[in-house]
Amino acid sequence: MARCLQLAENGSGTTFPNPMVGCVIVKDGKIISEGWHHRAGEPHAEAQAIKKVDSLDLAGATLYVNLEPCNHVGRTPACAALIVASGIKTVVIGSVDTHHKVNGSGIEHLKKHDIEVISGVLTQECRSLNKRFFMFHEHHRPYVILKWAETKNGFVAPLIKKELRPVWISNEFARQHTHVLRSNENAILVGHRTWQLDHPKLSAYRWNENTPQIVVLGGEKPKRQDIVWLSSKDYHTPEQVTAKLYELEIQSVLVEGGPETLQRFIDANLWDECFCYKSKNSWNEGLPGPIIKTSLTPIGSFQDNVLYHGKNQI
């Protein structure tokens, strides 16, 4: 199952709206095939693994998968039916798929066709990998991650800006890591002041070709047609914002600020994780960063920048 999780993570940032899934097929104590879901619309992990092996070799084999096989036909065939037809006799599952189209039906289909099903293996780890997917389908909102950079004495932006571009607090290496964070999420959200004053690209080009949806909250409607704009009149609370993102089928959102936007999500207790890049430099004055009661833990450093991480214990 641990190998399934390793394989599944290869699909990070590319499988939306599908979950990340890895599959391993074992026979006579040896791994005979592996697969993982690459992208929505492409074959699922189970299909990837099964098609690599001769049907005679699959007879009596055991299939491991971190998420319950689907039992409905969408852009791809149902995996549960494919497993039944393959001759595999045992399926080991990490976690149940709580999507309403699955939710135990895959397991029922396998058992109905005399396949032994073992479930609940590394369940916590399996759910953690697909935390965005489970949050979306179980709580009907996107997984919310907050991100900001601040000086040693807690400022996130200057009081007055002379140019319409970002004023960098984090260094080059920390900024590249920001692109790593972006590449894993469905969308990036900023307030209208950040959008107007910084003209940020909000892309992940320094890491890969993943292109999160840009969401701008408040202010005037951006001229770019590819941007989701949420007016302050219609979406003035984080709850309304996340409800709209759920409606748009956005499973995760990285909230990048500014400080007022970040604080609104914190005050509403509507966030799941946060990342703060803290510089060793201090400013004499500036806009203070968000106030968060959760203890943040240092998890890495980029020369003179330290990355802090926190999880909301909702």
* Residues with active-site annotation: 46
How far from chain centre, in Å, is Cα 78?
24
For the chain, the C-alpha Rg in angstroms (whole number) is 22
Residues ≥6 apart with Cβ < 8 Å to 151: 169, 278, 279, 281, 282, 283, 286
Question: What is the rounded CA–CA span in Å between residue 195 and residue 187?
Answer: 15
CB 166 within 8 A of CB 200: yes
Q: Cα torsion at 25, 28, 32, 37 (round to 10°)? A: 10
In the block, tokens 């990070």 appear at: 12
Question: What is the rounded CA–CA span in Å between residue 47 and residue 56?
Answer: 16
Amino acid (1-letter code) at residue 308:
Y
* Continuous segment of H or E residues that includes residue 83: helix 79-86
Phi, psi values for residue 230, rounded to 5°: -115, 110
